[in-house]
Amino acid sequence: MNKIFSTLYIFLLFTSSIFAADEIDKKKMFDEQTEFFLNEYNNFFSKNEILNLLDGELYLRPCQLDTSKDTNCMAVEQWQDTNFTYAGTIKNGKLHGLGEIIDSNNKTAIIGTFRNGKLNGKAKVFLQGTDDYFLTFFENNVFASGKKRYFQKSGNSFIEREDVWCSMDTSISCKSKIFSTSSSSSSLSGYEHCRNVWGKLINIRDKYSKNTPDYYRLDALVQTAFDMWTAFKGTNAKDTGNCDRLLSLGNN
């Protein structure tokens, strides 16, 4: 009996030393992973955020070619049905954790957090054609229009501008009394833009039951968007933000 316990004791000592070594190696790998993401995203995420967003798991390895069959890895693949690219972590075949959206000019468009294949959580959004960016929170690939922390490039630094309004429709745009810039909405006429807003407001309205206050409120916004859309018909005039404000009211 004593011999059995002695053998068991020696075995436990041996395996404990192996597990301790494994834990040290694992901690080193976690530290390396955290340092990688801190540098990759220029400290946009804190160490604790990185650990929490990655569910306390390791991701620093390339995914299989078919990412839908892989997990806890990193991939570069097409972002939805666009000419943009996603580069970031994958879990259970879906975009999950930390990543960035890269535009067709190979420039970062969005750095953010992902859950179940979609942008969910805090993000840094870069305005195409500029070096400016703003901070926001996404929910299922959409952020609420409104005042944002907006940073405008000035020489080798950034100046935080006040009272900047950013919105998201078919594109992302930001406006203030001093300046306005957008990622691609400038290519849309007021007719096209307000028509798109009208359609989005209908989709939001139809989520509510008829004869409810929210339905009536949104129906009024739908009608206003329709009036603005038809007012632009036959012209090349641009919308000055009125339809964006309607969409923002509809999202709130």
Question: Residues 87-114: what's their mean pLDDT?
Answer: 93
**Secondary structure (3-state) at 114:** strand
Question: Residues 46-56: what's their mean pLDDT?
Answer: 90
- Percentage of the chain modeled with pLDDT above 70: 85
Output 209 or 162, whichever has higher pLDDT. 209
Query: Would you state the torsion angle of the CA atoms of residues 38, 96, 121, 78, taken in this order, to the nearest 10 degrees?
Result: 90
Output 150 or 4, whichever has higher pLDDT. 150
Same domain for 213 and 110: no
Residue spans of beta strands (DSSP E) within the chain: 73-78, 85-91, 94-102, 108-115, 118-126, 133-139, 142-143, 146-147, 149-154, 157-161, 165-168, 172-175, 180-182
Query: Tokens 């009036």 label which residue?
Result: 227
Total domains, the chain? 3
**Please, what's the b/e burial string for 129-166 (b: 16 or more CB within 10 A of its CB; e: otherwise)?**
eeebbbbbebeeeebebeebebbbeeeeeeeebeebbb
Joined together, the tokens standing for residue 221 give 């916004």
Sign of CA dihedral 240, 201, 162, 118: negative
Question: Is residue 15 over pLDDT 70?
Answer: no
Same domain for 82 and 172: yes
* Structural domain boundaries, residue 207: 188-251
Question: Is residue 12 over pLDDT 50?
Answer: no
Same domain for 153 and 65: yes
The confidence score (pLDDT) of residue 23 equals 64
Same domain for 82 and 158: yes
- Helices then strands, counting H and E runs in the chain, come out as 5, 13
Same domain for 178 and 71: yes
